[in-house]
Amino acid sequence: MVGEVILVVHAAHFYEKLLCGEHSIKRYVNSYGTTKDFDDVYRRQLKNSEKRGDCICDYYSYRVLMSERTALSEDYKVLPKSKIFPFLQLPAEIRNRIYAHLFVLDQTIELCPDPFPFLGFKNKRMEVQNEAHYHAQNYQVKFFDTNVRSITPIMRLSKQLHREASPIFYGQNVFAFSNVAGWVCLDFFLHRIGLAKCGMIRKLIVCPPDHTVVPTSKSPVSYMKNGWFNDYTVTQDPTLILNKLGKLEKFGVTIPLFRAYSLPETLPIVLVKFDNLEVTLFSLDRDFPVRVRRGTFTYQVPVVDANAVAAKISTSVNNYPIRAVIAKVHDTGRYATGFIEDLDVAEEMAEIEREEFEIVAKRQFEIACLTPLPGDHRRRPANSR
């Protein structure tokens, strides 16, 4: 029976049946009364004819893989081989075209959208950032869940699929970490995907260490509570990894909307490590309407001479060509990069503006439906008009 507990000689340890009902895992109860696994990773002893993955319990220590397999309906678990399309028997060229259609997205995968609610700014700026960041973050999370999280499990179906699809997903998509927390998040991202996949990335946009803000901004006590202790510097691991691999083809650095420090004066990578690297400086720009008691005013992001900054950076790296772009950040946290395959900047901008218009119009309609009419004492439901 699943969940059956069998006590052993040592009172502190016991064995508990796993989901398969056949194999057991060694567990114990700590001094706080919490049940823990005895080993960090569960690995059962295989029989002569077995291999890892034959039993569902082999995925016990891997929560994502386990959830993907247990969530599968019974109809698919017992699907006969005669009803399974022989995808892997197709020619490699056709498989690659299918992979590209499935895994290559027509917009940037933005993991750190700007604006970002950095606590180091004044209250009015915080009011601006919180509202704008909510809309941008909400959009990017939905986009990631719908277009990235929903397709990446396919790469875990088999080793061959993983080997063939990973270079297309990581090599042809654009990964962006645009706000002031971007460098730290890039470090976590590279650590999470592993060194092999880091070497597959070809297009990357990131806020350089010059502007990086670690995930707190209050006091040394806050740093200590969040595990940063008294180290106010940021990690250099992304620089070491990117330089070592030297596989980037397009690299962008951002001047974020809300800057805590001076403008960047050099690049966070060593250019001689790369072949024909295209470098772009994105100076992010946006107007923020702010509602106050006496009416409405617009907070204007300080103007930056992007060409002058790019020229200064270029001088620091032996006059390496650096393109300067003033990129308008839209309500969704998106901006045109020119990094998308088969899509020029004008087409990318038109698509961003069209999507933004639809999203803002829908939001304003929902707000209008919830706004009380003259004489109303409570908000109306959305379908009342």
Assess if residue 253 is contained within a domain: yes
For the stretch 263-303, pLDDT in tens is 888 898 999 999 999 999 999 988 765 544 444 555 556 67
Q: Using 50 as the pLDDT threshold, list the residues of the chain that sit under it.
A: 1-2, 5-11, 120-126, 217-218, 223-232, 291-295, 385
Q: Domain ends where: 84, 106, 133?
A: 84
146 and 166: one domain? yes
Assess if residue 378 is contained within a domain: no
Q: Domain ends where: 84, 104, 119?
A: 84
Split into its structural domains, the chain has a count of 2
62 and 137: one domain? no
**What is the predicted pLDDT for the residue at 135?**
83
**What is the predicted pLDDT for the residue at 263?**
82
CA dihedral defined by 288, 293, 296, 298, rounded to 10 degrees?
A: -40
**What is the predicted pLDDT for the residue at 264?**
84
**What is the predicted pLDDT for the residue at 132?**
75
257 and 344: one domain? yes
**What is the predicted pLDDT for the residue at 289?**
57
**What is the predicted pLDDT for the residue at 379?**
55
55 and 164: one domain? no
**What is the predicted pLDDT for the residue at 314?**
94
35 and 181: one domain? no
108 and 75: one domain? no
Whole-prediction pTM: 0.79
**What is the predicted pLDDT for the residue at 35?**
87
Task: Give the domain extent around 44.
Answer: 12-84
Q: Domain ends where: 55, 84, 113?
A: 84
161 and 280: one domain? yes
Assess if residue 383 is contained within a domain: no
